[in-house]
């Protein structure tokens, strides 16, 4: 599954979201040294990550599953839905449209089958 934020300035959108996390405006997401984002509530922390990449037409996020947790439909739904929610709430001025795929894509990295 992928999330695509349609924008002419994907790097600016990514930097804006990271800046909002760094300044404490976004408290439900964090990012690591690799630039991957995880949802921070205890139930979701480190069960998956969203990896950003610059894509033709926007900023794309693909899911990275944990080797310790089965990537369930709930994990898929929460990570994709709440990422869209956060960027709509905090960075809506930097993109025009957001969309998600319904199923895993070749760019997603999950080590277990979605249960």
Per-residue confidence in pLDDT tens, the chain, 115 aa: 589 999 999 999 999 999 999 999 999 999 999 999 999 999 999 999 999 999 888 999 999 988 888 888 889 899 999 999 999 999 999 999 999 987 666 555 554 444 4
Beta strand pairing status for 29-31 and 37-39? antiparallel
Are 108 and 71 in contact, with CB atoms under 8 Å apart? no
- The pLDDT, as a whole number, for residue 114 is 47
Residue 20 to residue 29: CA distance in whole angstroms = 10
pTM: 0.87
């Amino acid at each position: 599954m992928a999330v695509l934020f349609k924008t002419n300035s994907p790097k600016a959108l990514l930097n804006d979201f990271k800046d909002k996390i760094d300044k404490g405006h976004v408290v439900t997401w964090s990012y690591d040294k690799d630039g991957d984002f995880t949802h921070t509530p205890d139930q979701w922390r480190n069960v998956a990550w969203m990896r950003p990449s610059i894509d033709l037409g926007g900023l794309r996020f693909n899911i990275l599953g944990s080797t310790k947790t089965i990537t369930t439909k709930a994990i898929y739904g929460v990570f994709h839905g709440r990422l869209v929610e956060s960027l709509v709430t905090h960075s809506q001025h930097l993109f025009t449209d957001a969309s998600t795929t319904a199923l895993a894509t070749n760019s997603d990295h999950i080590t277990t089958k979605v249960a």
